[in-house]
A and B are shown apart, each in its own frame.
Chain A
């Protein structure tokens, strides 16, 4: 059963109980296995390997409320903890923009930076009649009920927004007509699409890498400015005439209450990770594309992103 896997905290408990030396801690606001967990574990590992942290970074999984529990924990209980970093991604920004963290807002923490992006992708089964993004979009325009999308996020989540953005760009008025089912992760969404239960899958490239290699799915479009290195045969949505760019960046936030020096120290450390060979390898192995933005630049990017998502969510009626 897919229950009770949020038990990694137990290890943190054991380490804590043993009175380990004060080491930096990275909170992954989800169960092991997802993107946030990956962010914490890889960044934590590399920080230690390249000598930026003397002790291994301790990873704590704190699943709950789609990241809301960890957010609330940081805001309310750890607001001045300079040894704390928390994994964040586009999903964090989406939920903050949609007010899904029980009234908490983006300005209650500081966003340190992002050091990689998982490009958005639209894929169909290998035997699907849709050969290009245009085929799929035309079918959806002709009969919005005929194309159902499967994705790894809940209704209104980032995976749901991606195809809606494309269809909106293509001129579909009533985007609420498009069927979307939220599954337990991208792999499930691929399985349902290959099985023919949904017509297309919306997710991130990393979620379909294995299936692409095995020839189970065909990627119709990647949602980036340029084609993604290593996936050069997948056209971008932009070159097919739909100007949509959406990716799931991987980054960190820290508590609001730390000093500017401490904030910039984390930004520098993150930059060092971004520049390391180990991170380049980890990105290549997991289908991430380079996307480095740290410090104050990133905070500005987040503010803009949240405003955009908020507007889009209003347009599609996910929030009032």
Chain B
């Protein structure tokens, strides 16, 4: 079969000592970058791009290094989610929901190993999926027009009520706050500035990272100050790391299902890893039902988002390589790297530059095994980075947050904005309003609005256009069901622990 001949060629490239070393270095750096709150995969890859040029790496080597960092960051993001309740990067958001309660219950080691294995399963299967299905799956993008995308984003918002809070009204309010913040900046359809007050810094809207670091990291610091360092949620103890075989076995179907969902979410342009982990978590929560205890620290709640986001990371490479349409923020940075290297991603990349594509795929397979080793037996090394006392860690987190955010735009304005988000996060948590939907609102709001408005332009204002395809109708039904169903289930449902607790 062609695939295997090509793969053999890929391994021929990837197994050179130099390329292997790059993969290991990339994985290590990536895991640390992922683990540190505020530094996500997109920053990580962006920071390291100049290094690839300084080292004079060729196209394949540069790609291997960068995608190893990318995969590594996807693994590493879970570490601070589980131990600190601060997502190390955006896609690890959902891992906090069960990972942190599990760690608080004294099972931090189990949570880390389980999520590491789930990451491995997700990433490995997704890489295989990339290998076999890339040419086929690239066609999916052609089935999604504005109406379908709108329904997809609506589905994400409607199902939010069930996960992030016990109270759908509060979750809806939080979603609306997020959507409102997303409206700031240039209106994509008309180019007119909205809610910017003539401020150039607001023209591009609110950067997602500014919001997430403010709402999570800075708000956490405020809580720490309030509690005078006692009774802090930070500093979950990690004793011995053993392998929880029973949990791994029990979550095998969860991992597989989440991988499939995450991979599909990753393949959709613009969706990416965050949506992958979110949808994976949601569907597992629905399957488990009220007895599943999602949100209280169950194994499936840890395995699902990690398998989902790592699978989505692999999936996001499919449209990037085959269509030149990045499936996520990080793949957009990778796309920039490719173009700088004079490689034009597109439908012909697989035939024109097979050595690049297959060398990359082989390296990804190798990187996965390296990452499994680093993240299961050696996970304590990375935990040590985070396992310093809170009075050292929190100022450190604050500093990294400020430096990281300042580096995005070099403007103090973003720093003020971040502190503002910190205050907002603090107040909302006091009011028991979940912050997760705000983040998702900022994340998806613009895409959702653009989709709706494009649909309206194309249909000349006819709203039935939104239900004009089988895919769209299916997504709408799932969205309505996802919002309504938890209301009826709530009576039967034993109240799970609040997530931000």
Binding site for B on A (CB under 8 A): 1-15, 31-33, 37-38, 41-42, 56, 62-66, 68-69, 72, 100, 102, 145, 148, 154-157, 179-185, 187-188, 191-192, 194-198, 209-211, 213-214, 216, 281-282, 285-286
**A72 adjacent to B200 (CB under 8 Å):** yes
The segment from B106-114, B185-193, B231-239 found at the interface with A is B185-193
Judging by beta carbons under 8 Å apart, are B186 and A65 in contact? Answer: yes
Q: Is B298 an interface residue (CB 8 A)?
A: no
Q: Which among A38, A145, A182 is the interface contact of B339 at CB below 8 angstroms?
A: A38
Given contacts A187-B325, A286-B342, 20 further A-B contacts (CB under 8 A): A1-B328, A2-B272, A6-B409, A7-B46, A7-B408, A9-B410, A10-B404, A14-B47, A31-B332, A41-B340, A68-B200, A68-B203, A69-B204, A102-B198, A154-B191, A157-B191, A181-B146, A181-B458, A195-B142, A282-B342
Give B404's nearest chain A residue, CB to CB: A10
Residues in A with CB closer than 8 Å to B270 are: 1-2, 184
Interface string of B84-124 (1 = CB under 8 A from A): 00000010000000000000000000000000000000000
Which of B204, B328, B332, B458 is within 8 Å of A32, CB to CB? B332
Instruction: Name the contact of A191 in the complex, choosing from B141, B190, B209, B453 (C-beta under 8 A).
Output: B141
Among A2, A37, A197, contact of B328 (Cβ-Cβ < 8 Å): A2
Are the CB atoms of B333 and A179 closer together than 8 Å? no
B144 at the interface (CB under 8 A from A): yes
A-B Cβ contacts below 8 A, count:
209
Known: A32-B333, A180-B457. Is A5-B46 also a contact (CB below 8 A)? Answer: yes
A161 to chain B minimum Cβ distance, whole angstroms, is 12
Q: Are A64 and B409 in contact, with the CB atoms below 8 A?
A: yes
B474 within 8 A of A: no
Closest chain A CB from B439 CB (angstroms): 10
Contacting A1 at CB < 8 Å: which of B208, B336, B457, B460?
B208
- What number of B residues sit within 8 Å (CB to CB) of A? 73
Complex-state Cα separation, A314 to B433, whole angstroms: 48
**A154 in complex: contacting residue of B42, B47, B188, B269, CB < 8 Å:** B188
Main secondary structure of the interface of B (DSSP, over half): helix
Q: Quick one: which of A13, A31, A66, A196 contacts B406, CB cutoff 8 A?
A: A13
Contact check: which of B188, B275, B330 meets A182 at CB < 8 Å? B188
Residues of the B chain whose Cβ atoms lie less than 8 Å from the Cβ of A216: 347
Query: B336 and A33: CB pair below 8 A?
Result: yes
Task: Out of A31, A183, A195, name the residue touching B141 (CB < 8 Å).
Answer: A195
Report if B496 contacts A (CB, 8 A): no
User: Is B348 a contact partner of A210 (Cβ separation < 8 A)?
Assistant: yes
Given contacts A154-B188, A209-B344, contact A32 B46 (CB under 8 A): yes
In the A-B complex, list the 6 residue pairs whose CB atoms are closest, starting with the nearest: A210-B346, A32-B336, A214-B347, A197-B145, A65-B203, A33-B336
For residue B336, which residues in chain A have a CB less than 8 angstroms away from its CB?
A: 5, 8, 31-33, 37
